[in-house]
Amino acid sequence: MESFKHIGVIGRIGSVKVVETLRRLKSYLVANDYQVILEADTASMLPGHGLQVASKKLIGEICDLAIVVGGDGSLLGAARDLSKSSIPILGVNRGRLGFLTDISPDDLEERLSRVLEGEYVEEKRFLLDAHVKRNGEPMGYGTALNDIVLHPGRSTRMIGFDLYIEGQFVYSQRSDGLIVSTPTGSTAYALSAGGPIMHPRLDAIVLVPMFPHTLSSRPIVVDGGSEIKLVIDEANENWPQVSCDGQQELACAPGDSISIAKKPFRLNLIHPSDHNFYATCREKLGWASTIAAS
């Protein structure tokens, strides 16, 4: 297993609980002779820290490991910024569900020490790129670890669009939009819209319609290497939007096209060695944890 010496720390802004955990994390790492580099915004929450400060990009270049303290949203943001580097990312949960940030603050030092000693499992998660074009000209670009979503924005009207997969026409649809999700995102927004749960190791993409104007429209699972294209109907009266992980918005107009494909770089996500995807689903989604007696 890889040895970690230079550790970048990224925290969610505006949370007292995150600050408390950051202080504990800093104290533990410094006491154990790790070289700690704080992300610039994170450093502002720890006045008098006395540590090196760097941008997320620089952390990806000079660190052996990045630790993200926050919720899954914090890790999603860090993943997009660090995906071009091969740096592993470890999440400490200070959010709600914590599908990605799976170290609990309650036993932070104990769990972290095991990971830093090499007791961890590693996963490669792929991301998606979205390119918006108007009359063939690029208008916007975004990246997502969870999902790319075409939606009406502030309007309550349905969107008309055409779907193409690998250049082949699939259907024309009127709905509240479409969720294009990775396996990582299959337990997030896509799940709430009726999509399937996909194991993180699958090389697949799921397309989940949002309140389609037909009963026969169902989620479609396609190969992870597929190129997906959405063409917004020119007859639309509203200007829809494309959302990347719910954190980055791209404005669209009637007639625009959105091309979605796998990003060439993968996120290197690590977990404690006892990590179990199905156990996480049981805990976070409220699945039954015992087998009823027959």
Q: Which residues are annotated as a binding site for NAD(+)?
A: 72-73, 146-147, 157, 174, 176, 187-192, 247
User: Which secondary structure element, helix H or strand E, spans residue 30, and what is its range?
Assistant: helix 16-31
List beta partners, residue 92: 69, 103
Q: Would the CA dihedral through 102, 108, 113, 114 be positive or negative?
A: negative
Strands 147-151 and 159-165: unpaired
Q: Return the residue matching tokens 């009127």.
A: 174
Beta strands in 135-202 (DSSP E): 137-144, 147-151, 159-165, 168-175, 177-181
* Residue 72 annotated in active site: yes
Complete DSSP assignment for 198-250? --TT--EEEEEEES-SSTT---EEEETT--EEEEE-TT-SS--EEEETTTEEE
Strands 220-223 and 248-251: unpaired
3-state secondary structure 191-204: HHCCCCCCCCCCCE
- The stretches of 32-127 forming alpha helices (DSSP H) are 40-43, 56-62, 72-82, 108-116
List beta partners, residue 248: 244
**Residues making up the binding site:** 72-73, 146-147, 157, 174, 176, 187-192, 247
**Of 237, 101, 219, which is closest to residue 170 (Cα–Cα)?**
219
Burial zone of 249 (CB within 10 Å; 0-12 exposed, 13-18 middle, 19+ buried): middle
Could you say which DSSP state residue 78 is in?
H
Q: Looking at this protein, which amino acid is placed at residue 98?
A: G
Of the listed 33, 41, 64, 72, which one is catalytic?
Answer: 72
Active site residues: 72
